Amino acid sequence: MLSDQYKQAYKKILEAKNILLVIHARPDGDALSSIGVMMELLIKLNKPFFAYCLDKPPAQYKFLPHIEKISAEKTFSFKNFDLVIPLDCGSMGRTNLAKEISNRNQGQFIIEFDHHPRVDDYADIEIRIADASSTAEILYNFLKANKIKINKNFATGILTGILTDTGNFLYPSTTDRTIRIASKMQLLGANFPQILESTWRNKSLSAMKFWGKAMENLHINKKYNFAFSILSYEDIKNSNSSDEELEGIAGFLSNLYGVKGLVLLREEKPGLIKGSLRTSHPKIDISKLGQALGGGGHAKASGFVVKGSIKQSKTGWEIF
């Protein structure tokens, strides 16, 4: 039972002496909110912890509680932790601690909080709800199950994670529960307009023009009733757009009516193509296509990376 897992996880946290928190590389709003919620809890409990992420948080998230405590440097000794908590990581590889986790000592315990479909089975307590909107939503359940009072910092983190991972309630992962929790978070002090200002109404002119480029290059393959758009390395190089902005474009393009799904292909570095897959079709699990191409993700939002270059030709686009 999940509620038992929440209680066991909390018991382990209360017993732990030194805790390592980790989120995925190139962190998004949900990952940063989730680690912020966990830091708020550990600070309240007076627990020593280290918060680690391979990459620095994007500047737009500086409003999140405790975000300045996240370190992108591995300045810790892994063996000194008796509890490791990966949040929103998807797979062990995305923690950048796969080696350490695989070779961990007996007595080093792992509690995983995640809403991605399972890739690796490595946690001692695995709290995974693949149809939750966000890891932040799962943390709400966790706080609730353990009767922890939700203050403004918790509420801000939980609402930010929900908003950023659902594209502000647009994606099919938004359920009645998600909206109910979001509404509670606002009542408990989360500032919805301020979160939107920081996470959504923050597009630069060059970013907007870049979105225009993605829309201009949007096509529908009639045979499969599948939409695609392309951003070449040249486009990306000139745009200065962050990974999250690019994901946002894929989310926006998925508003296209009447298609089964959509792929946004972009050459991020010369010779490396990233694909973002989206569908809002109730019967399609697009993560299967993502997995077939060596990637992963969710049923409605998935992605992959392949080697190759994109060039525009007279007849369309060529990938080689």
Binding site for Mn ion (CB under 5 A): 30, 88, 134-135, 165
Q: How far is the CB of 127 from Mn ion (least distance, A)?
A: 13
Place of tokens 């939980």: 158
Q: Which is nearer to Mn ion, 36 or 310 (CB)?
A: 36
Q: Which residue is nearest to Mn ion (CB)?
A: 30
Minimum CB distance to Mn ion smaller for 23 or for 110:
23
As a whole number of angstroms, the longest Cα–Cα distance in the chain is 65
- Least distance from Mn ion to the Cβ atom of residue 134, Å: 5
Q: Is 318 exposed, middle or buried (0-12, 13-18, 19+ CB in 10 A)?
A: exposed
| Cβ 93 to Mn ion shortest distance, Å | 16
Specify the residue, 239 or 280, whose C-beta has the smaller distance to Mn ion.
280
Question: CB 115 → Mn ion: shortest distance, Å?
Answer: 6
Taking Cα atoms as reference points, which of 271, 206, 219 lies closest to residue 245? 206
Residue with tokens 């509620």: 3
Residue 4 or 131 with smaller CB distance to Mn ion: 131
User: Cβ distance 290 to 303 under 8 Å?
Assistant: yes
Strands 301-307 and 109-114: unpaired
Which one, 274 or 298, has the nearer CB to Mn ion? Answer: 298
Choice between 165 and 235, CB closer to Mn ion? 165
Q: How far is CA 20 from CA 38, 118, 181, in A?
A: 11, 21, 27
Is residue 225 within 8 Å of residue 216, measured between CB atoms?
no
- Residue 291 C-beta: closest distance to Mn ion, Å: 18
> What is the closest distance, in whole angstroms, from the C-beta atom of residue 256 to Mn ion in the complex?
23
217, 305, 132, 84: CA torsion to nearest 10: -150
Contact criterion met (CB below 8 Å) for 190 and 63: no
Nearer to Mn ion, 228 or 296 (CB): 296
Q: Are 135 and 31 in contact (CB under 8 A)?
A: yes
- Contact, 20 vs 52, CB < 8 A? yes
C-beta of 250: minimal distance to Mn ion in Å? Answer: 15
